Amino acid sequence: MTLEAIKYHAGSLQILDQLLLPHKSHFVDIRCVEDGWKAIKTMQVRGAPAIAIVGCLSFAVELKKKKFETIQELTEFSNKSLNYLVTARPTAVNMSKSAKMLSAMLSSSKCDDVEELKQGIIDHIEDMLDKDIQDNKDLSNYAAEHIQSTCNKSNDGYTILTHCNTGFLATAGYGTALGVVRSLHKEGLLDHVYCTETRPYNQGARLTAYELVHDELPSTLIADSMVAVLMKTRKISAVVVGADRVAVNGDVANKIGTYQIAVLAKHHNVPFYVAAPVTCHDDIIQDGNDITIEERPADELTMVSGVRVAAKGINCWNPAFDVTPAKLITGGIATELGVFAADEVKQLKNQVKNG
Ligand code: MRU
């Protein structure tokens, strides 16, 4: 059975509550923009593409129910809702790109029928689901081909290390970095995949491990602190991670810990890939220094499953993302248009504006 995290039928949206995984599969109703914002803010849904898709679908669900007298009324409601959704989490670019694109669609439309224009917006949002899955499959196949042409393998195939969760739970389906793992497996070319625990929020242990076990992929969980010894003692063909925002110069913001894995990969000569559909690429921010990094509450560090593990009174710093400089992305950045060297992704900005 294929995993499903977003259930959408015209006017109705349910999402798998990722706060309860891996112990419980429970879907929650998202009936309006406020529900969508809260689900993103509280991380019932997370992962850059899924944040934008659920955010936009929450808007579509509310839009469908609402009656507007004029195009101006529709535009004002839309801009207000979309700008609000962008505020839920700051680092991933996907929601803000979608918001800009939908607002531009409204402002540039020649349509003078308010119902028709409203339906056009809803149709566009609904298309995001299929488009994301297709983009993920395309980029995963490109990356799998690239890995075959450049990376070392054992007799049993390629061994991949991944970080955080980038699969069905973080996208409309298939996944980005985890999609690459799936594509290698489909070709009979996956020897093994290692996933990091991804402290402090444990997306690797809770969510990636759940997907790997569900799909019966040959896999092993490691703590984040084991990456260096893993690279030294076991043959890792490539590291493949996702992205929350790719800057114009190819610097990549992704889950905290990605940067240190890239440093270790460089030291051990392990190719380092980023799997990032064009929706994750920022057309405006030139380099990683200007990316806003979300800081999350201290209790994500001090508590594990509701139990305090840190000494009371200790100060905490909890940035949720870090930036990997383009020069450490030695394998390339895989997109639905092909695999690019990190310093070549600026070409993409001119091809696909605001995805
Ligand atoms: O804080 P999260 O769980 O939303 O962070 C997720 C990541 O960093 C992912 O690697 C990224 O969004 C890519 S998901 C295809």
Q: Over the chain (355 residues), what is each successive 10-residue block's mean pLDDT?
A: 93 97 97 98 98 98 97 97 98 98 96 96 98 98 98 96 98 98 98 98 98 98 98 98 98 98 98 98 97 97 94 97 98 98 87 51
Pocket test for ligand 1, best of 244, 259, 293, 336 (most atoms within 8 A of CB): 244
CA triplet 232, 319, 79: central angle to 5 degrees? Answer: 125
Tokens 């996944």 correspond to 175
Ligand 1 centroid–CA 163 distance in Å is 9
> How far, in Å, from the CA of 201 to the mean position of ligand 1?
11
Contacts of 300 (CB under 8 A, 6+ apart): 200, 201, 318
Residues marked as catalytic: 244
Q: Which atom of ligand 1 is nearest to the CA of 46?
A: 4
By the 10 Å C-beta count (0-12 exposed, 13-18 middle, 19+ buried), 23 is classed as exposed
Which atom of ligand 1 approaches the CA of 178 most closely? 15
Predicted confidence at residue 351, as pLDDT, reads 62
Q: Please indicate, yes or no, whether the overall pTM of this predicted structure exceeds 0.90.
A: yes
- Residue 13 CA to residue 9 CA, distance in Å, equals 7
State residue 355's pLDDT score: 44
Please tell me the predicted confidence (pLDDT) of residue 350: 64
Identify the pLDDT of residue 330. Answer: 98
Structure tokens at 273: 């890939």
